[in-house]
Structure formats: C-alpha cells, structure tokens
Amino acid sequence: MAAPPKTVLDASAAEEKAIREAVRNADPATLGTGRVLATEAHAGAAFDLLADPAVSEPIYALPKPLTLASVKAWIADAEAARERGEGLLILTMVESGPVMGYAKITVWPDRASAELGGALRTSLQGGGAGGAGAAHTIAWIFKTLKVRLICLTAATDNIRSAKLIDRMGFKRKGERDALRPDGTTRRSIYWELTRDEWEDASPR
Ligand SMILES: CC(C)(COP(=O)(O)OP(=O)(O)OC[C@H]1O[C@@H](n2cnc3c(N)ncnc32)[C@H](O)[C@@H]1OP(=O)(O)O)[C@@H](O)C(=O)NCCC(=O)NCCS
C-alpha cells in the first residue's frame, strides 16, 4: 500500500489538475520500446513474472497471496488509478510475449508527488539494466507527469536497490514501515528526490 512522501508539498488546484491530466494522457511508449499499460489481457504474463520470488519478494506493495486472480485485481486497481490521474502500471514486453519487467508509479496529484516501484525478470537482474532503467524512469516521471517530488523505499537488506537509489542522487530520509496489502509491515529505507535536485544534477 503506497504511502505518500514524508515531505508534504501543497499543489495548487491548477497544478493538481495538470498532474492528473498528465497521468491520464501519458504515453508509455515514450518511456521506451515495449512499454505498455497493463490491462487484464496481460494478467497471465504478469503473474508469470511475479510468481518468481526473486522478482516479487523484495516488493512490499504487491498483492499477497500472489495468484492469477490477485494479479488481475491489482491490474484493475491500477487502471482505475490511471483514470483518476493517480497512477500507472507499465509493463515491459518483448514480442514473444513474456513480461520482462514492470514499473508501478503511484501519484498524489494534490501533493505534486509520486512513488516508483518495480522489478526486472531474474535473467536481467545484476547486469546494470535496473540502474539504467530506474534513472531513465525517474527522469520520465519528472518530465512527463509533472510532479515535484519522488519518494522510494527498499527493504533494509535490498543492497542492489539501495546502491542504485543512492547513485541516482536520492537523499536518505530515515526509515519507514511499509504496509503490505495483507496488513503486515516491512522495515524500509526511505529516500526522496525533488525535481529541483534532479534538474541540478542532470546534464544539460
Ligand atoms: C532492483 C533491480 C530493479 C535492480 O536492477 P539490477 O539490474 O539488478 O541492478 P544493477 O545491475 O543496475 O545494480 C544496481 C547496483 O547494485 C550493485 N549490485 C548488483 N548486483 C549486486 C549484488 N549481487 N550484490 C551487491 N551489489 C550488487 C551494482 O553494482 C549496482 O551498484 P552501483 O550502482 O553502485 O554500480 C532488480 O535487481 C530487481 O528487479 N530486483 C527484484 C525486485 C526489487 O528488488 N525491486 C526494487 C524494490 S525497491
């Protein structure tokens, strides 16, 4: 269950409306090749990706238990969130069918803020693709969805994620208990990055 950032930004009514429209109109193809919005038709392929514990175990916000039905419901929730302008679930597909990874973006338009979560298929992990993909996705979120703040969490033992999040310039802001859909909690390291910090660090 995504929780909004610790830092509270107040969006004006006009900014909130612009963010909701940006989320509804965002074209996932502009994020990269093979990127599509998840629909019910993808449920089986998404379940196949998430059924691998090396993909899904580190992520607090996935349905528990993970079943085809719970993945279908997760996709339906994400589609409803997109219609409200409050989130996107983007899959990376290859032509032969399998889902190679996903990005789940939760947006709080009234706070001009977002959270990103995601994973790669095990065969792609540990080779630098996640680090490159995460930085690219963060840039896309700031530019396309018009938010001013992004927060991230990772389990305290998720070394790869912590390394890549630190490397992207996110600032550690303590820890938080991330609430799983089954009501249990997971201790997490917590980071934030503002759009101004990201722009200052980005090559022009
Ligand atoms: C997290 C994830 C997207 C990272 O992508 P990745 O391609 O595996 O990661 P990278 O190869 O880019 O490596 C990230 C960093 O971890 C380091 N690393 C890679 N494998 C490592 C290992 N086994 N032990 C320690 N560090 C490792 C890399 O050197 C890199 O550090 P650097 O940026 O300082 O060079 C991917 O591993 C994944 O999907 N994991 C499962 C789900 C998950 O954890 N999601 C994130 C929840 S916050």
Residue 34 carries which DSSP code?
T
Catalogue the E-assigned strands of 109-183.
Answer: 113-120, 149-155, 171-179
Cα–Cα dist 198/170, whole Å: 9
167 lines ligand 1 (CB under 6 A): yes
Nearest CA to ligand 1 atom 31: 163
Under 8 Å CB-to-CB from 141, ≥6 apart: which residues?
A: 105, 114, 116, 147, 150
**Could you give the percent of the chain with pLDDT greater than 70?**
99
| Residue of 90, 104, 121, 164 to test ligand 1 pocket, by largest number of atoms within 8 Å of CB | 164
Cα–Cα dist 170/143, whole Å: 17
The predicted pLDDT at position 49 comes to 97
Q: Looking at the predicted structure, is the pLDDT value of residue 193 above 70? A: yes
Element (H, E) at 89: strand 87-93
Q: Which of 191, 184, 204, 90 is nearest to 149 (CA)?
A: 191
- pLDDT tens-digit map of 57-89: 999 999 999 999 999 999 999 999 999 999 999
| Residue of 153, 160, 180, 189 to test ligand 1 pocket, by largest number of atoms within 8 Å of CB | 160
59 lines ligand 1 (CB under 6 A): yes
Structure tokens at 166: 């630190």
Residue 204 banded pLDDT, cuts 50, 70, 90: low
Q: Looking at the predicted structure, is the pLDDT value of residue 125 above 90? A: yes
Catalogue the E-assigned strands of the chain.
Answer: 35-37, 87-93, 99-108, 113-120, 149-155, 171-179, 185-194
Mean pLDDT for the chain overall: 96
How long is the chain? 204
Give the pLDDT mean for 135-153: 98
Nearest CA to ligand 1 atom 23: 126
Beta bridge partners of 103: 90, 118
Q: Looking at the predicted structure, is the pLDDT value of residue 45 above 80? A: yes
Q: Which of 181, 182, 189, 187 is nearest to 154 (CA)?
A: 189
Residue 96 banded pLDDT, cuts 50, 70, 90: confident
160 lines ligand 1 (CB under 6 A): yes
Q: Looking at the predicted structure, is the pLDDT value of residue 198 above 90? A: yes
Segments making up each domain of the chain, as ranges: 13-199
Q: Which of 39, 48, 46, 42 is nearest to 77 (CA)?
A: 39
Structure tokens at 170: 């996110």
Q: Looking at the predicted structure, is the pLDDT value of residue 93 above 80? A: yes
The predicted pLDDT at position 146 comes to 98
Pick the CATH number of 13-199 from 3.40.630.30, 3.30.200.20, 3.40.50.450, 3.40.80.10: 3.40.630.30
159 lines ligand 1 (CB under 6 A): yes
What is the Å distance from ligand 1's center to 182 Cα?
A: 26
87 lines ligand 1 (CB under 6 A): no
